[in-house]
Amino acid sequence: MVHHLFLFLLKFSRLIEQNEYGISKIKQNYTQLSWRGFLRMKDDPILDENPDTSSTKIGDMKVSYTFGDYASYKEMLKYMRTIEFYYPNLTKLIRIGRTHEKLPIEGLKIGYPVENNEKRAFWIDGNIHAREWASSHTALYFINQLISGYGRNSRITHFLDSLNIYIFPCLNPDGYEYSRSNPTPQVRLWRKNRSPETCKPSSWGGKRCCRGVDLNRNFDFHWAEAGSSSLPCSNLYHGEQVFSEPETRAVRDFMLSTRMRDKFDGFITLHTYAQLWIHPYSHEVDNYPPDYYDLRKIAKKAIEKLKKPYGIQYKIGTGANILSPASGGSDDWAKSKLNVKYVYLVELRPELELSNGFILNKKELIPTAYETWQAVQEVIDSTRSPSQDSTNHITKQPIVKQFNSQSMLTKSSSIMNGTWRISTISLPLSSLSLSSLTSPPPSSSTLSRITITKRVNSTCRDIRFSCKLWLKINRNVCIEQQSFMSIQCKKSCNFCKDE
């Protein structure tokens, strides 16, 4: 107790230094010391496993994080808890649950004043997949920018005065720490959590038993459908039932709690890798929410901001349309069940074609975080706009009503589970905002219709946008990998030329 009291009283000054990326080294401020934080530091075994009482160590204590490097989950927790310790009016540590291995799942609530629970909210998370280390680094960078920018940057000050921003850098601590435990591929590239072994009968006789559930296939949105697996040894194993995992239940219980329900206007989940800005829905191709145009419009603004610093180009779309279908994802759940307005899954650097993308070079960590922060601010800005209704910004008519009143949907289109399953939408140019599309506007002014999605009954398409690259690398790949390529690259391989 005396040791901790000494540390508490020792901190009396603060100095903030910023480099070209805006990363701050936040030192002590006696006037902002938090007794709540002191008690947490005193009692928490994660912070006090090996206390260092040397004068050098005490003198160096400050709110810092090694940006540009990968750190342990313990170091992430120390960083967040120390920030809360020094900025009690701006931050509050939130623990939403524990993992299978009893690690705390913690994040920061950031807003001013932090005790104001009536404000709207914005959610950001990272590392739901263990091997995607750059995602937690990026989320921690966001925390640094918000804390160091408040009172100095008018935009950030406005964010935190009007919103509570919740950032959970690592939703899968068990899996993350396991992936750090050994550099061999089967460990370093571990994707799932570390749930106990589940056994299923093997087609070769006997049973196969494996650990772990893909947390991003365990949410309550078209659970156990396309893009997931019932096999425990699969990387895409969806679990024995929806929300079977303590990590996913923790997210659900927090966001659906009485205090937080209906508060969230934004939801961003950070992943690696592919340089994609994904919006709902991803459980099947060509399935969109009614405010599809709003989501596309803001996504386009975001990736334009992201591109400016280093020229990195992202693609926009649903996961099903630009990658492959994936059901049970947290982003689709947030959109469909929580009715969050702006929901995005962001696949960070590098581009999909690189085979070692999960092991991002450390030199790229800060640039990745910096450029992504430029984009995320655009999304946060959008939640603060005067009108958050789903409207066409030319006609000012609600998108869904526009479809109904003008009978724009084809007969094969339908509404399923509150979502639009759109095969083809034809819109007069006078009522369509071309700026909301990622492709350039048509060159002919006489064009009378624009097809937003594929034509009815058309199945000749590539699911993977890297199909042409694979063919360039190996001209025989369509034959050598026929079962895979016939599904993923049907068009490029000419498997549908007679359709």
pLDDT tens for residues 241-288?
A: 999 999 999 999 999 999 999 999 999 999 999 999 999 999 999 999
What's the pLDDT at 475? Answer: 80
| Of the listed ranges 121-130, 213-222, 350-359, 402-411, the one predicted with least confidence | 402-411
Q: What mean pLDDT is reported for the chain?
A: 78
| Of the listed ranges 68-82, 118-132, 362-376, 466-480, the one predicted with least confidence | 466-480
Q: How far apart (Å, rounded) are the C-alpha atoms in residues 240 and 213?
A: 9
What's the pLDDT at 474? Answer: 74
pLDDT over 60 (residue 375)? yes
> Which DSSP helix (H) or strand (E) runs through 468?
helix 467-473
* Residue 485 contacts residue 478 (beta carbons within 8 Å): yes
- pTM, entire model: 0.71
Tokens 């901190």 locate to: 11
Amino acid at 188: R
pLDDT over 60 (residue 381)? yes
What's the pLDDT at 420? Answer: 39
List CB contacts of 249: < 8 A, sequence separation 6 or more: 97, 243
What's the pLDDT at 19? Answer: 54
Q: What proportion of the chain, given as a percentage, has pLDDT over 70?
A: 70
pLDDT over 70 (residue 30)? no
Mind spelling out the 3-state secondary structure of 437-467? CCCCCCCCCCCCCCECCCCCCCCCCECCCCH
| Of the listed ranges 298-307, 323-332, 345-354, 400-409, the one predicted with least confidence | 400-409
> Which is nearest to 277 in space by CA: 303, 301, 297?
303
Helix extents (H) in 264-384:
292-310, 319-322, 330-337, 365-383
pLDDT over 80 (residue 349)? yes
The better pLDDT of the pair 424, 175 is held by 175
What's the pLDDT at 63? Answer: 67
Residue 490 pLDDT class (50, 70, 90 cuts): confident
- 423-463 pLDDT per residue, tens: 333 333 232 222 222 232 233 233 233 233 333 334 687 77
pLDDT over 50 (residue 179)? yes
pLDDT over 50 (residue 121)? yes
Q: In what order do the strands lie in the sheet with 276-278?
A: 91-98, 104-110, 163-168, 120-125, 264-274, 342-351, 276-278, 315-317
Tokens 């640039």 locate to: 367
Residue 496 pLDDT class (50, 70, 90 cuts): confident
Active site residue 347: yes
The better pLDDT of the pair 186, 419 is held by 186
| Of the listed ranges 158-162, 304-308, 456-460, the one predicted with least confidence | 456-460
> Which is nearest to 335 in space by CA: 384, 283, 391?
283
Give the 3-state secondary structure of residue 220: coil
Residue 487 pLDDT class (50, 70, 90 cuts): confident
Alpha-carbon radius of gyration of the chain? 24
What's the pLDDT at 447? Answer: 29
Write the DSSP symbol of residue 427: -
Q: Residue 274 forms beta bridges with which residues?
A: 351
Q: CB-side exposure of 142: number of CA atoms within 13 Å?
A: 33
| Of the listed ranges 12-16, 62-66, 126-130, 328-332, the one predicted with least confidence | 12-16
> Which is nearest to 214 in space by CA: 199, 234, 187?
234
* Active-site residue, selected from the candidate residues 245, 247, 284, 347: 347
Give the 3-state secondary structure of residue 425: strand
Query: What integer is the mean pLDDT of 314-341?
Result: 96
Check if CATH label 1.10.260.40 holds for domain 2-177+244-383: no
* Residue 163 contacts residue 383 (beta carbons within 8 Å): yes
* Residue 146 contacts residue 114 (beta carbons within 8 Å): no
> Which DSSP helix (H) or strand (E) runs through 351?
strand 342-351
pLDDT over 60 (residue 357)? yes
Could you tell me the residue ranges of all domains in the chain? 2-177+244-383, 460-499
> Which DSSP helix (H) or strand (E) runs through 210?
strand 207-210
What's the pLDDT at 482? Answer: 76
Q: Residue 95 forms beta bridges with which residues?
A: 106
The better pLDDT of the pair 222, 432 is held by 222
For the record, the structure tokens of 372 come out as: 């992504």
Question: Is 225 exposed, middle or buried, given 0-12, 13-18 or 19+ CB atoms closer than 10 A?
Answer: middle
* Residue 212 contacts residue 168 (beta carbons within 8 Å): no
For the record, the structure tokens of 375 come out as: 């984009």
pLDDT over 60 (residue 123)? yes
> Which DSSP helix (H) or strand (E) runs through 147?
helix 133-149
pLDDT over 90 (residue 151)? yes
